[in-house]
Amino acid sequence: MAGSFLPDNPSAWTYRSWGELMAIPREQREALQLEAVRISFRRLRDRIPALKKLADRQGVDTIDRIEDILPVCFDHRVLKNYPIQIIENRDFARLTGWLDKLTAHDLSRVDLAGLTTIEQWLGRLEAFGMLVTYSSGTTGKLSFVPRSYDELGPWKFHFFNVNQASSGVDAWTTKLPTFFPGYRGGYQTMLKMMSLFNVEMAGGAEHYHTLYDTHIPADLMALSGRLQAAEDKGEIASLGLDPALLEQRRQMLAQARSRDGDLEVWFARMIERYRGQRVKIGGTFSDMYRVARAGLDKGLRCEFAPGSIIEGGGGMKGYKDAPDDWEDQIKLFFGIDRMGNQYGFSECIGNAPLCKAGYFHLPPYSVPLLMGPDGEALPREGVQTGRLVLVDVIPLSYWGGFTSGDEVTIHWDGKCDCGWDSPRVAKSIRRFAENEGGDDKITCAGSQQAYNEFMAFVQGDA
Amino acid sequence: MVAVVDIPIIARGRVIMPGDDAVEFKGRGGAAFRQADPHQHIHDLVLGDTARMRDLHDTPMAEIIELLAELGKRLSLDDNPLMQESFALALKAGGLAEPILRGVYDALPQMFSAAGMTALVDRTIGLDYIDGWVPSGGEFATVAIRAIGTRQLHITAGNVPVVAAMTIARAGLTKSDILIKSPSNDPLTANAIARTLIEIAPDHPLTKHIAVAYWKGGDEFMDGQIVRTSRIDKITAWGGMSSVRHIQKFLTPGIDLTALNPKYSMSMVGRETFASDAAMEECAIGLATLAGFYNQTACANTRIVYVESATDEDSIERVVDLGRRMLRAYALIPPLLSVPFTQRNRELEAEMEAIALEDDFYHVEGDTLTGGFIVSKFNDRVEFFDKLNNRVVNFVPVDSLADVLKWCDDTTQTVGLYPESRRRGLRDAFALAGVQRLVSLEGGDPMTVYGNSHHMPPGSPHDGIEPMRRSVRWVVDMQPARQAAELGVAAE
């Protein structure tokens, strides 16, 4: 018997078990999703200024069919459509004014007195009731997700749920000491989720181990490009940055240089200390592979207790020329069979765990659509490939419709071999822009960035 | 169903069609090609024995120019099926609209004019130096210098077919042996020109020193085989990174790399422009021309316009007015130079739509079909400036044109200027900053503006360097000075 779900309160869906969520019959799920999208859009259309502007421009007032939502989903760029100059000038009034258009909260009431860094600004927003996190792309420009405490509960329930779905471990009851070969603290989305959820899942801060106890300040991330350019010209001083921040940058650069060595030493310590215990290893697969390869080369193997898990992400991004059997090598070195994987983006609460059959399953509160090359909605049936659009129906304080930069293939029909019933995303995910052009299209019209890559190549750095 | 186009490897006068060992590759817009496996033809592509260059070395330049001029005449679209095929493919790739592309192809024969090529060699290398040993005068009469042809790899750019024609012409004009690595988005043009040459002079030394093939960028086997000091002296790499990235591994001292890397171009507009309606109009036509010619696919196209203007509402409104005039002026450009697009640029439109929601910071007008513009309401360009295309331009207000220097570097190729009265005050500072060409927005009609910005003597610098001069080896022959003294006595 299928469970009962109200479209008015998708947050409550996250309290149900993953099994229940994956057992909603398609017809019921799609009707529920359409109604939930309708309600969410109706509630937020005139409350979120940026959404109102977009909906007015597109002339969208009501949602009759699910495809009607497509023109009013924010392109992922909307979360970073402020001029980089206001970050460089640390113009917090304008930055706050910009963010204010993305949230139902009245940010004009936030006290901005005395702020000198973006880290402080994010802290001030948190004290006000926001839970704004950021992510940064290759350009370094920060994209801010305008989340708030209104979403914290369902965010947490979903997170525990999705981790159980991908790892088989119920983190509400089973606490596993965790190693994460990265930074700690701050507002970068993954790091904020660590302090909000992962530490508790590990059984407390003393059981959550990171490579470094610090994090890269948002300010340094945001200004990385600008700082590099200024340094090249010998003009760092003219940026007027806090000397402490520049010192931090120096340390970060030094840390980055010694990272591979630090990583090996740190992992060796963790492996020794937790021998025979059940553990969880998190991080990017490229880091795990790096450690595994170094260990295997020395003839080493880990000896953790059965039931240990690996929860990774990021594919092999950042590791050149990975062998085809990298997954097996990781499993062999760590002595762990269960390798969990998830797919999602920071704009959307409901990310998708990888099932045993090798597909990412979206929860019912993340409503997927696929967009074709001309911006048209692709049919929600069969197997389709296009740009992924997700409408997150959980948020109450911001609009959850987002057009991603990812090209994915979705299998819409039938139950998956794993037994879960939901639209499923194949593992072949790629950045949309990579598709344009031929195998190696060459053009002479270029950009600074292409140039920098070019020089790195000429100098032998690439 | 996309038809697979068979393309041959051109191997020094031989045409090798794909057979059982053929490999397939994809081009832009889903086109598919078949070519013989280049792995099996390394020795058809490279020249290990420099003695084999003697035939070209001994051929007088006048004879080479005569043959190239003859080749030029055969490149007409009307009666050359190979060029027609290349044209059809370039058209399908969608980079340039038909009237523009036709204009580009129609102009190819002119690149091979005998007078132009003679001047080109003479100005960059010197006819005497390419054909013989030139004694230095006076007390150095025993020292002779000659320009010697080299073995060159050209990794060509495909966005304008001119590159293929220019590369083949320059090969002959420097008496060099060349291997052209075709780009996947234009694998046919160099091929078509080389095959035409084979048709008219199958045994000529020039023909025997041209090879053309495609292999995938990053094919380590190919790069490792080809990029060796025993096989290549010079590499010219055009454009983007992807297909030359891996060659770097094989670069060693002894191989000279000329990197004609990606370039960016812009315009600068002084505050004088806003003084009269006539000046606004003239400037707008200049901008439309420099942004619009070749439908903004070239490195020399303006993509950003820095305008001397304040950022208050009234000032911004004047900049918007200039932008609207530029949009209207697009319609004045003859179709030979610029036409509306038939397909939207979704990526760019997504960027434009994303910032259009932010009217505190940006004013956005137009689209990627007829063209458009974005006015920044503060002193900085949009962050997606490297995606500006489809005749979409970013206007950026600055307090003073001198402020623009901070955005200039070695990647800044062409800068359009208005009005002319500002040139003297800006020229040297911009040259020091890295800018390679300063052109004018004045003229008042598109053909005049276009003509002024393209009227250069043969052999002018390209991207700040002189590629022809750099692609030969300058060899010094020094006889003993004693002999010179004797000669001197004998002459008395």
The domains located in chain B, with CATH, are 4-262+468-476 (3.40.605.10), 264-444 (3.40.309.10)
Chain A CB contacts of B383 under 8 Å are: 83-84, 139, 141
**pLDDT at position A456 over 50:** no
Which chain A positions have a beta carbon within 8 Å of B90's beta carbon?
none
pLDDT in tens, A88-122: 888 999 999 999 999 999 999 999 999 999 999 99
Would you say B211 and B167 are in contact if contact means Cβ atoms under 8 Å apart?
no
Residues from chain A contacting residue B183 (CB–CB below 8 Å): 440-442
Task: Indicate if the pLDDT at residue B130 is higher than 70.
Answer: yes
Question: Six-digit token pair at A449?
Answer: 């960035």
| Rounded Cα gap, residues B117 and B173, in angstroms | 8
The answer to whether the Cβ–Cβ distance between B257 and A451 falls below 8 Å is no
**Which chain B residue has the Cα nearest residue A51?**
B357
Determine which of A73, A402, A444, A458 to mutate to test the interface with B (most B C-beta atoms within 10 Å): A444
In whole numbers, what is the pLDDT of chain B averaged over residues?
A: 90
Chain B positions in Cβ-Cβ contact with residue A77 (cut-off 8 Å): 350-351, 354-355
How sure is the predictor about B487, in pLDDT bands with cuts at 50, 70 and 90?
A: low
The ipTM of this complex is 0.76
Which chain B residue shows the shortest CA-CA distance from A451? B262
B185 vs chain A: nearest CA distance in angstroms?
5
Distances (CA, A) of A73 to A53, A79, B355, B450: 12, 12, 14, 42
Predicted confidence band of residue A411 (pLDDT cuts 50, 70, 90): very high
Mean pLDDT of A440-456: 35
Residue A157 has pLDDT above 60, yes or no: yes
Structure tokens at A412: 């819409």
Residue A346 has pLDDT above 90, yes or no: no
Instruction: Delineate the domains of chain A, giving CATH numbers in brackets.
Output: 152-225+242-343 (3.40.50)
Taking residues A379-384, what's their average pLDDT?
Answer: 96
Residues of A in contact with B92 (CB under 8 A): none
The C-alpha of A431 sits at a distance from chain B's nearest C-alpha, in angstroms, of 12
pLDDT value of position B492: 47
Reply yes or no on whether the pLDDT at A457 is more than 70.
no
Please tell me the predicted confidence (pLDDT) of residue A439. 36
* pLDDT for the residue B246: 66
pLDDT tens, residue by residue, B314-357: 999 999 999 999 999 999 999 989 999 988 988 899 899 999 98
Q: Is residue A216 within 8 Å of residue A186, measured between CB atoms?
A: yes
The reply to whether residue A77 touches residue B350, judged by beta carbons under 8 angstroms, is yes
Mean pLDDT of the region A57-71: 95
Structure tokens at B50: 């420099």
- Facing residue for B248 by CB, picked from A374, A448, A462: A462
Q: How many helices (H) and strands (E) does chain B have?
A: 17, 20
Residue B310 has a pLDDT of 97
Contact B354 A94 (CB under 8 A): no
A406 near A371, Cβ under 8 Å?
no
Give B159's contacts in chain A (Cβ within 8 Å). 442-445
Please state, in angstroms and rounded to a whole number, the distance separating the CA atoms of residues A103 and A93. Answer: 16
Q: Please give the pLDDT value at position A438.
A: 37
pLDDT > 70 in chain A, percent: 90
Query: Nearest CA to B468 among B47, B122, B81, B101?
Result: B122
Q: What is the pLDDT of residue B483?
A: 60
Sequence-ordered strand ranges (E) for A128-250: 133-136, 142-145, 178-180, 208-210
The pairing of strands B32-35 and B23-26 is antiparallel
pLDDT at A247: 85
pLDDT at residue A100, rounded to an integer: 96
- pLDDT tens, residue by residue, B392-434: 999 999 999 999 998 998 889 999 999 999 999 999 999 999 9
Is B358's CB within 8 Å of A81's CB?
Answer: yes
- Residue B259 pLDDT > 60, yes or no? yes
Angle, CA B258 vertex, CA B257 and CA B263 arms, to 5° = 135
Model confidence at A261, pLDDT cuts 50, 70, 90, reads: confident
pLDDT at residue number A140: 66
Q: Report CB contact under 8 Å: B346, A374.
A: yes
pLDDT band for position A314 (cuts 50, 70, 90): low
**Taking CB atoms and an 8 Å cut-off, how many pairs form between chains A and B?**
160
Per-residue pLDDT at A233: 73
* CA nearest to B458, candidates B156, B127, B163, B122: B122
Res A275: pLDDT: 93
Max mean pLDDT among A379-388, B159-168, B378-387 falls in A379-388
pLDDT-derived band at A450, boundaries 50, 70, 90: very low
Give the pLDDT of residue A312: 77
On chain A, the residues whose CB falls within 8 A of the CB of B409 are 448
Taking contacts as CB-CB distances below 8 angstroms, the residues of chain B near A455 are 261
Amino acid B486: pLDDT? 58
The amino acid at residue B347 is E
Contact between A160 and A172 under an 8 Å Cβ cutoff? The reply is yes
How sure is the predictor about B284, in pLDDT bands with cuts at 50, 70 and 90? very high
pLDDT class of B96 with cuts at 50, 70, 90: confident
pLDDT at B243 over 60: no
Look over chain A and give the mean of its residue pLDDT values, rounded to a whole number.
Answer: 86
Q: Which of B243, B261, B376 sits opposite A446 (nearest CB)?
A: B261
Q: Using an 8 Å CB-CB cutoff, list chain A residues near B185.
A: 437-438, 441-443
Q: Best of A87, A94, A239, A440 to disrupt the B interface by mutation (most B CBs within 10 Å)?
A: A440
Name residue A411's beta-bridge partners. A383, A424
Q: Which residues contact B333 (CB under 8 A, 6 or more apart)?
A: B288, B289, B292, B293, B446
Q: What is the pLDDT of residues B143-191, one digit of tens each?
A: 999 999 999 999 887 666 788 898 999 999 999 999 999 887 778 889 9
How many Å lie between the alpha carbon of A298 and the closest alpha carbon of chain B?
29
Span A274-292, pLDDT tens digits: 999 999 998 878 788 888 8
Q: B289, B337 in Cβ contact below 8 A? A: yes
pLDDT of residue B485: 54
In angstroms, the Cα distances linking B315 to B310, B311, B378, B399 are: 6, 6, 11, 12
B240 pLDDT tier (thresholds 50, 70, 90): low
Residue B239 pLDDT > 70:
no
Residues of A in contact with B298 (CB under 8 A): 444-445
Cβ-nearest to A139 among B156, B358, B383: B383
Query: What pLDDT is attached to residue B16?
Result: 95
Among candidates B26, B259, B383 on the partner chain, residue whose Cβ is nearest the Cβ of A141: B383
Contact B239 A97 (CB under 8 A): no
pLDDT at residue B159 in the model: 61
Residue B434 identity = G
What is the Cα–Cα distance from A4 to A12, expressed in whole angstroms?
11
Contact (CB<8Å) B357/A449: no
H-type alpha helices, B39-175 = 42-45, 54-57, 61-73, 81-93, 98-107, 114-124, 127-131, 162-173
Mean pLDDT computed over B442-456: 94
Q: Do A444 and B243 touch (CB under 8 A)?
A: no
Which residues from chain A sit within 8 angstroms of residue B222, using beta carbons?
none
User: Chain A residue closest to B257 (CA)?
Assistant: A458
Residue in A78, A444, A460 closest to B357 by CB: A78
Q: What would the mean pLDDT of B188-202 be, rounded to a whole number?
A: 94
Report percent pLDDT > 70 for chain B.
94
Which tens digits make up the pLDDT trace of A415-439? Answer: 899 999 999 999 888 876 543 433 3
Closest residue to B350, CB basis, from A75, A141, A457: A75
Determine the pLDDT at residue B8.
Answer: 93
Which residue in the set B29, B263, B380 is minimally distant from A446, CB to CB? B263
